[in-house]
Amino acid sequence: MSEFTLKTRLLAALKGEEVDKVPVCSVTQTGIVELMDVVGAPWPESHTDAELMAKLALANHELSGLEAVRVPYCLTVLVEAMGCEINMGTKNRQPSVTGHPYPKSLDDAAIPEDLLQRGRIPAVLEAIKIIREKVGPDVPIIGGMEGPITVASDLASVKSFMKWSIKKPELFEQVLDLATEASVIYANAMVEAGADVISVADPVASPDLMSPDSFKQYLQSRLQKFSSEVNSVTILHICGNVNPVIDYMADCGFEGLSVEEKIGDVKKAKEVIGDRARLVGNISSPFTLLPGPVDKIITEGKQAIADGIDVLAPGCGIAPMTPLENVKALVAARNEYYA
Minimum CB distance to Zn ion, residue 26 (Å): 11
As a whole number of angstroms, the distance between CA 234 and CA 186 comes to: 13
Q: What Cα–Cα distance (Å) separates residue 270 from each residue in 21, 70, 73, 203, 240?
A: 18, 25, 28, 21, 17
Minimum CB distance to Zn ion, residue 198 (Å): 16
Output 172 or 215, the one with its CB closest to Zn ion. 215
Minimum CB distance to Zn ion, residue 147 (Å): 11
Output 239 or 319, the one with its CB closest to Zn ion. 239
Q: Which residues of 165-204 are buried (b: 16+ CB within 10 A; e: fewer)?
A: beeeeebbbbbbbbbbbbbbbbbbbbbebbbbbbbbbbbb
| Phi and psi angles of residue 117, each rounded to the nearest 5 degrees, phi first | -100, 0
DSSP class of 319: P
Output 13 or 204, the one with its CB closest to Zn ion. 204
| Contact by Cβ (8 Å): 119, 80 | yes
Where in 4-55 does DSSP place strands (E)?
A: none
Output 239 or 246, the one with its CB closest to Zn ion. 239
Output 6 or 236, the one with its CB closest to Zn ion. 236
246, 266, 265: which is closest to 254 by C-alpha? 246
Minimum CB distance to Zn ion, residue 97 (Å): 16
Output 142 or 239, the one with its CB closest to Zn ion. 239
- Concatenating the DSSP letter of every residue in 139-183 gives S-EEEEEE-HHHHHHHHH-HHHHHHHHHH-HHHHHHHHHHHHHHH
Which residues of this chain interact with Zn ion, rule CB under 5 A? 239, 316
User: What amino acid is encoded at 172 in this protein?
Assistant: F
Output 182 or 239, the one with its CB closest to Zn ion. 239
As a whole number of angstroms, the distance between CA 68 and CA 132 comes to: 11
Output 140 or 240, the one with its CB closest to Zn ion. 240
Minimum CB distance to Zn ion, residue 282 (Å): 10
171, 139, 155: which is closest to 163 by C-alpha? 171
Minimum CB distance to Zn ion, residue 231 (Å): 25
Minimum CB distance to Zn ion, residue 201 (Å): 6
Minimum CB distance to Zn ion, residue 304 (Å): 16
Q: What Cα–Cα distance (Å) separates residue 207 from each residue in 180, 214, 217, 241, 317?
A: 19, 9, 14, 7, 18
DSSP class of 86: E
